[in-house]
Structure 1
Amino acid sequence: MKNNNKVKFNICNCHYALQKTQENGEIGFENPVAMPGAVSIALDPNGEPESFYADGIEYYIIANNMGYDGDLELALIPESFRTDVLKEEADSNEVLVENAHSETAAFALLFEFDGDIRKIRHVLYNCSASRPKIEGKTNEESREVQTETLTIKARPLASGYVKAKTGNKTSAETYANWYKSVYLPEPKAVDAETEGQG
């Protein structure tokens, strides 16, 4: 138990990775891009289990995992995210232009929390982001940093995968490569003896 985290704090190391369709038709991801300045994240589960009643009892519970909804607060939304995901267009003068006909892109969201032993790394696979509010206020006696917030919807992939996170036994290689490419689950190897017992 000495190597297990007891607490977590401080969101950091936020990245996004654009979704892409591979030649075999499966969903893949481009290399993660850093999003510095993460302030907070708050994502609520979407979808509650539903009960089916028969014979006068709760006969079956239907799983209903529809991912997560919530907010990601940043010091400033990076221009790369605005152009890659929100599809703002840079014109010939490098002015970012928002076009009502543009459709936003799907992406994976990667981030981590500090722990007392080591950081806990996360990825949400199928995210969309809505346009942020335009807001600000005047300086008073002291200056206050004014952040920007993205509303995030994370939905299951066709495979059913919603998210992944590192655990106490995650391999050192997987942990070290978390931000080099989007981690996709690998099925556990089936023991030949166990498989033959079916």
Structure 2
Amino acid sequence: MENKTKLVHGLSDFHIAILTEDDKTAVEYESPEELEGAVDVSVNPNTETNTKYADNGAFGVLNSLGDIDVDLTAVDLPQHIQTKIFGHDQSGDVVFSNVADEASELALGFKAQIQGGGHRFYWLLKGKPELTNIEHSTDEGTVESQDTQLTLRFTPLRHNGNWKAQLDSKEVTSAKWFENVVYDEETATAVQGTETTE
């Protein structure tokens, strides 16, 4: 898309993909899976800033990236998703949470709309979810749904240091972007092949 200011709005298409390998030689993800019912998402990179003083003044500023805090709200977090990302055990339709469960590292994808056409696509590449709170309240005259909130902490990939992939496009479809996690130049090139507009 042309390099100009765009009005971005909306949110849809949460996707998760379990990270199975991340080292100097390779990155591997399971196939992405859609998490329906995107309500909102907040991404907050934590940076440390240090000003270096020299010659009687501020000489320069050093920045370093810490972890990245992500909060998302969805209509629901289905049991099969909870089992997958938190490492729970399932017996029939019953899910058991155990003190020994270990949460999986995962990628999180989503998109927003761009006024005038196209979308802004995202992949956050390596995060670990925190256990979700359980909150329900009684119906009082009117019935309101009770959304699920999930907090994740993201860090850069060990493989290449990337922590986010982002694309503004009128040509790339949601099916193409969310087919695989985009984490390096090779996967970015593959996703930008010829596609028809949604």
In structure 1, what is the equivalent of residue 106 of structure 2?
107
Q: Which amino acid in the other structure matches residue 180 of structure 2?
A: S
Q: Which moved more, 1:107-116 or 1:5-14?
A: 5-14
Q: Does 1:96 align with 2:95?
A: yes
Q: Which moved more, 1:8-17 or 1:172-181?
A: 172-181
Structure 2 unaligned segments of length 5 or more: list them.
Answer: 189-198
Q: Could you tell me how far 1:29 is from its partner in structure 2?
A: 1.2
In structure 2, what is the equivalent of residue 77 of structure 1?
77
Q: Could you tell me how far 1:88 is from its partner in structure 2?
A: 1.5
| TM-score of the superposed pair, with normalisation by structure 2 | 0.82
Aligned pairs for 1:129-148 (under 5 A) are: 129-148=129-148
Contact 1:41 1:73 in 2 (8 A): yes
Q: Could you tell me how far 1:102 is from its partner in structure 2?
A: 1.2
Contact 1:11 1:113 in 2 (8 A): yes
| TM-score of the superposed pair, with normalisation by structure 1 | 0.82
In structure 1, what is the equivalent of residue 182 of structure 2?
183
Structure 1 pair 100–157 and aligned structure 2 pair: CA distance change class (3 A):
same
Q: Does 1:160 align with 2:161?
A: yes
Aligned pairs for 1:1-198 (under 5 A) are: 6-21=6-21, 25-91=25-91, 93-116=92-115, 117-158=117-158, 159-168=160-169, 172=171, 177-186=176-185
Q: Could you tell me how far 1:57 is from its partner in structure 2?
A: 3.2
Contact 2:49 2:62 in 1 (8 A): yes
Distance 1:153 1:65 in 2: 13
Matched residue SS, 2:77? coil
Offset from partner CA, 1:42-76 (integer Å, 9 cap, x none)? 12221233223344333342221124213100110
Contact 1:67 1:162 in 2 (8 A): no
Distance 2:175 2:86 in 1: 29
Structure 1 pair 152–56 and aligned structure 2 pair: CA distance change class (3 A):
same
Q: Which amino acid in the other structure matches residue 162 of structure 2?
A: Y
Structure having the higher Rg: 1
Q: Which amino acid in the other structure matches residue 43 of structure 1?
A: V
Distance 1:162 1:56 in 2: 37
Greater strand share, 1 or 2? 2
Matched residue SS, 2:182? coil
Distance 1:165 1:38 in 2: 18
Structure 1 pair 173–147 and aligned structure 2 pair: CA distance change class (3 A):
closer
Structure 1 pair 4–52 and aligned structure 2 pair: CA distance change class (3 A):
closer
Distance 1:174 1:141 in 2: 42
How many equivalent residue pairs?
Answer: 186
Offset from partner CA, 1:60-100 (integer Å, 9 cap, x none)? 42221124213100110022321111112102x33011011
Q: Which amino acid in the other structure matches residue 160 of structure 1?
A: G
Q: Could you tell me how far 1:4 is from its partner in structure 2?
A: 6.1
